[in-house]
Every structure is written in structure tokens, then in C-alpha cells.
Chains A and B, each alone.
Chain A
């Protein structure tokens, strides 16, 4: 008797909690998906239809005209190409400079390297966006304004988080590996290229993911340094749409969808790495 009495209420409250849990999750997902779904629906409508139908109304046909307009005339293609180019060059640069810096600081422990490490850590404190007030003047003085080199050099040169991630990871690679290299008579550059670099692969993957997401989504740096039409990137293409006087919303929506697709694909394929990569990156900030 007694046992039954105790069991029943627990059972009901568990069901209630389950239902509430799903309600919270489904509600959350609707919050995320509805605003995006509206954009997706709008992207298929033509100008007139867009103006005259409600936001939830399905489009008459799923024609891809808006996507074509956005991709070619709307310069989304150029934005994607430029962004990709920037990402590839910056990633290559960051991996080179980041792993080399981390290698020296982590392996050659001396007063000098400790000082340099301190300098890099100090730099993480500086707020990136408002620093641009004076960085801008240096960039224009050395003649990099309105070139793709400006953002790239900033993505490579002011990325201290990556160095930090590499240093952390290097700390887990046993020094005895280096020593065995030395026993075999390998020079330090050789040790770096054939022992350290291959062992850093997981850290490099993490940095690549963080780099991709942050450069693909960065708005302010390209907006400030690349005003030239030919240098549009994903963010600035989209921003250009809404800052013009006459906005064709259905094309803007198609542009947004086109710009989200690469992110979505990468997320679907690299989900697991993205969760851990981004979290470990941000924690170091």
C-alpha cells in the first residue's frame, strides 16, 4: 500500500517534466527556425507576390530566379569567392606563424621567450573593434587600405587565441619526442617540420574551424578596410543590400540563404568538431 502511494505521484510528475522538457525544446527550435523559414519562403516569391502575400504564405512556385539574381547580379558569388580566398590565405598564415611562435615559446624556455609570451597574452586584453581607430591609420599609412591584404594581415597578425591553443596543445606533446629527434641528429627546423607539425594536427583542425567561422562571419574588418566593389565579401555584400535606397527584399532573402548554405554544410559535416573547437577557443579568450 504504502509503496504504491509513493510511486504513483513520482510517475505523474515525471511525465509532466518530460512534457515540459519537450515543450521548452520545441519552443526553442521554433524560435530559431521561424525567422529563418520566413526568409526562405520569401526568397522564392517574385516582387509582386512578395509585396502582396503574408509572411507565412507559401510561394506560388519554387522558382530559383531570385537566387540567380542574387548570385550573379547581386554579387553573392564574388562575395563567396573573396571570402574563401581570404579564409585560405589567413588560415595558412595563422598556422605558419601560430605554430612557429608556439614552438619557440613552449620549447625554448628562457627569460626572453617568457617575456614574449607575456607580450602575446597582454595583447589578448585589447578590445579588437575599438582598436581599429588607430590600426586604421597604420593600415592606410603602409598603403594597404582597400586591398585584401589589410584584413588578411590583421587576421594573421592579431590572432593570439590560435597561438594560445597551439601552446596548450604543444604542452601535451612529450618533449621526449623532440629529444629522440635530436638523438638522431635532426636540426630544430627539421624537428619542427617532421615532429611538431604533424603532431599538432588536432590543434590545427580546431584553429581552422574557429578561423573559418570568425572570418566568414566578420563584418567590421572588411567593411572598414575594403570599400572597393571588387573586394566585397559575404558580410559586406549583404550589408550593401540593406544600405541601398531601393531594396529588393526577395533578392536580399535569396542572398541570405545562399550565404547561410556554406555554414550549414560545414556545420552538418563537422558538427562534433565545431562544438568542441569553438568552446575550447572561446574559453581561452
Chain B
């Protein structure tokens, strides 16, 4: 292929050497992914930061520089600030979710019949279409449109037991509305946590259980002194991820209540501001705030889990085997 004689190597010939191949293969293989990355990730991100200091409509006609006004509005206008409060419901919900998931996962790791069935049923909601889930729960809490009527599935169950029907989506009771939505969120996502925890628990050496059995430990003691310490890193990782999840809630409340009855979330508000009110500048400021929160949380996560990062992946592989 290549001659030792330097003069005889033309550019075309050089491209055939491995050195040359490296160059053109790199360019050929990376050009599309990099172009897409720049166009649909970094360019919008830069725009976002720039626009967030402007008063700007959808088409960017005649934008006006307003400094930090947009940011000030997010943190002072109660209409916007309430969305932070609402994400606390989801944060509390995901704590409950972790506890239940851990309980169910440890049950599924004990000697139980029809494990596969239980695991499958509990996991399936995670795979379901979000719009389908939301409509199912519209029906669960109400009898449909308008979403304020009462005879949903849940009330039918309550009435079977002789209880009074409850108006779940009561506009004057935002606490209840948000709790219902958090319930839907737990219903949908808990299966995933269960599977994660099962993977983690199964990666614990069986010797530890045997030893504790010999010592006469009961299931609670086994959980408290063997299982929990072993899976603690994953539990804390999940709790940190829950912060990200809580601030990014979107789909379920958007479809079920449309963000009404005091159930708006930060992302719903961002999208509304951008595409309904057409205040792109303000929406960009909100997106930047979300970005900053997520970066801070991620840095915390990276700081605490530098070594534990790879653990969950390994466990999941074990689970598959």
C-alpha cells in the first residue's frame, strides 16, 4: 500500500493509511451526530440563556433587553412561585414511593409463589402510555368530563364499603387535588423502583442470609442489618434523583387537570408561558432556573456517588442473567 518513498505518497494514498483512515472515518462518522448535537441541544441552550434576559414574543420580533426582570418575576409572582410548592408534593410522594418499593422488592425477594406474575403486574404501568394512564385516572377519580363530577371508580369502591363519595378534584382543596395526582405518579413509576431494588437486593451475597439464619435473625432484622446497609447507596441515589423528578413533573397533571385547581407544576407553567401566553423571554428564564436546579442536584449526586455510580448497572445485569 504505502511506499517508504515520501514523495510518492499522494493525499489519496495517505488517506488509505490507518492514520488517514482515522481522520476521514472520524469526520464521516461524527459529522451528523455532532451537527444534530449543536443544532438541537447547544444552540437552543445558548439561545435560551440569551432570551431569558429579554422581553420577547414567539417570533422574536423586536426583542427588548430587560436584565433580570424575568428571573425576578419567577421568584416574586405567587402565580409562578406556587409551582415550586407543588413540586414538594411530588418530592414527598417519591419518598413514600421509595419506601413502598423497597418493601415490595424485599417481599419479592423472599420465598413467594408467582413472583413473576406479581413483578410483571406491578411493573406494567411503567410501560403504559402516559396519556392512557392519565385518562384511566380521570375515570378513576371522576366520571369524566367535566372532571368535577364524582362517580368515579374510587368512589364506587368507597360506596361499596358504605363510605361517602369524595369530590377528589375540588378546586377549593388544592391539597387533595395534588395528592391525587401524586398518587397517579406513584402508580405509574413505582414498578421501576421495585425492579431496581430487586436487582440490588439480589446482588447481596446469599452467605450473609445463611449466616443470619443460623443466628436466628428475623426478617426485619435481616432487612435492617443486611439488606438496608447493602443497598443504601442506591436508595440515596434514588432519593437524589427524586428531586430532579419532582421539579420536572409534567405529563400527568398536564393531561388530567391541565394544571388547573392549583395543580400546576414548574414545567407546565414554563410551557404555558411559552406557547399559550407567548412570553418566550420569561419561559426561557424559567427553563434556565430548571437547568440550574438540575445541574446543582447532579453535582451533588456526582460528588456523593463518584464510586457508587456503576453499581446499579451491574446489579441490573445480574438480574437479567
Say if the beta carbon of A1 comes within 8 Å of chain B.
Answer: no
A100 to B30, CA, bound (A): 7
Q: Which of B5-13, B39-47, B76-84, B203-211 has 4 or more CB atoms under 8 Å from chain A?
A: B39-47
User: Please, how many angstroms separate the alpha-carbon atoms of A36 and B135 in the complex?
Assistant: 10
A38 touches B140 (CB 8 A): yes
Chain A interface mostly helix, strand, loop or mixed?
A: helix
**Contact A220–B250 (Cβ < 8 Å):** yes
Tell me, in angstroms, the Cα distance from A67 to B280 when the chains sit together. Answer: 42
Tell me, in angstroms, the Cα distance from A276 to B315 when the chains sit together. Answer: 9
Tell which of B18, B33, B126, B248 has the most Cβ of chain A within 10 Å: B33
Binary interface profile of B, 211-252, with partner A (CB < 8 Å = 1, else 0)? 000001011000000000000000000000000000010110
Q: Residue among B29, B43, B125 with the most chain A CB within 10 A?
A: B29
User: Would A217 and B40 count as touching, CB distance under 8 A?
Assistant: no
Q: How far is the CA of A228 from the CA of B285 in the complex (A)?
A: 30
Q: How far is the CB of A23 from chain B (nearest CB, A)?
A: 10
Query: Which residues of the partner chain B approach A280 to less than 8 Å between Cβ atoms?
Result: 313, 316-317
State in angstroms the CA–CA spacing of A101 and B29 once bound together: 6
Binds A, one of B86-94, B167-175, B267-275: B267-275
A268-281 vs B, CB cutoff 8 Å, 1 = contact: the mask equals 00011111101110
Give every chain B residue within 8 A of A103 (Cβ-Cβ): 29
Given A55-B156, A103-B29, residue A129 in contact with residue B316 (CB < 8 A): no
| Contact across chains for A279 and B112 when beta carbons are under 8 A apart | no
Please judge, given known A-B contacts A104-B26, A134-B48, whether A249 and B144 are in contact too, CB under 8 Å. Answer: yes
Given known pairs A133-B287, A187-B21, the reply for A35 and B135 (CB within 8 Å) is no
A87 to B60 alpha-carbon distance, docked (Å): 33
Q: When the two chains form their complex, are residues B138 and A157 in contact, meaning their CB atoms are under 8 A apart?
A: no
Taking CB as reference atom, which chain A residue is nearest B137? A35
Interface size on A, residues (CB 8 A): 95
Contact of B156 among A54, A224, A238, A273 (CB under 8 A): A54
In-complex Cβ contact of B129 among A31, A216, A271 (8 A): A216
Given the known A-B contacts A104-B30, A235-B131, A273-B320, are A134 and B195 also in contact in the complex, defined by CB atoms under 8 Å?
no
A24 to B317, CA, bound (A): 27
* Residues from chain B with Cβ under 8 Å of A274 in the complex: 127
**Within residues 142 to 158 of chain A, which ones have a CB less than 8 A from any CB in chain B?**
153-154, 156-158
CB distance from A170 to the nearest CB of B (A): 13
Chain B 266-297 interface residues, beta-carbon cutoff 8 Å to A: 267, 270-271, 274-275, 280, 283-284, 286-287, 290-291, 294-295
Range, interface on chain B = 35 or more
Selected contact of A101 from candidates B33, B48, B118, B316, CB within 8 Å:
B33
Interface residue A161 (Cβ < 8 Å from any Cβ of B)? no
CB-defined interface of B39-69 with A at 8 Å, one 1/0 digit per residue?
1111111011001000000101000000000
Known: A134-B51, A219-B131, A282-B192. A25 touches B320 (CB 8 A): no
Residue A201, interface by CB 8 Å: no
State in angstroms the CA–CA spacing of A120 and B42 once bound together.
Answer: 10
Proximity string of chain B (115-138) to chain A, C-beta cutoff 8 Å, 1 when within and 0 when not = 010101111111111111001111
Q: B153, A34: Cβ atoms under 8 Å? A: yes
Given contacts A100-B30, A101-B33, A235-B130, contact A31 B251 (CB under 8 A): no
One digit per residue, 1 when the CB lies within 8 angstroms of any chain B CB and 0 when it does not, for chain A 54-89 equals: 111000000000000000000000000000000000
Whether B136 and A276, one on each chain, are in contact in the complex, defined by CB atoms closer than 8 angstroms, is: no
Whole-angstrom distance between the alpha carbons of A32 and B136 in the complex?
Answer: 11
- A96, closest chain B residue (CB): B32
Bound complex: CA of A125 vs CA of B317, how far in Å? 25
* The residue from A125, A163, A187, A256 contacting B298, defined by CB atoms under 8 A apart: A125
Binding site for A on B (CB under 8 A): 16, 18, 21-22, 25-26, 28-30, 32-34, 36-37, 39-45, 47-48, 51, 58, 60, 103-104, 107-108, 110, 112, 116, 118, 120-132, 135-140, 144-145, 151-153, 156-157, 187, 192, 195-196, 199, 216, 218-219, 248, 250-251, 255, 267, 270-271, 274-275, 280, 283-284, 286-287, 290-291, 294-295, 298, 312-313, 316-317, 319-320
9 A-B residue pairs with CB within 8 Å: A13-B218, A17-B219, A131-B44, A137-B58, A138-B47, A256-B135, A271-B120, A279-B319, A282-B192
The 9 A-B residue pairs with the shortest CB-CB distance, nearest first, are A157-B36, A276-B320, A100-B29, A130-B287, A134-B44, A279-B316, A238-B131, A133-B274, A134-B47
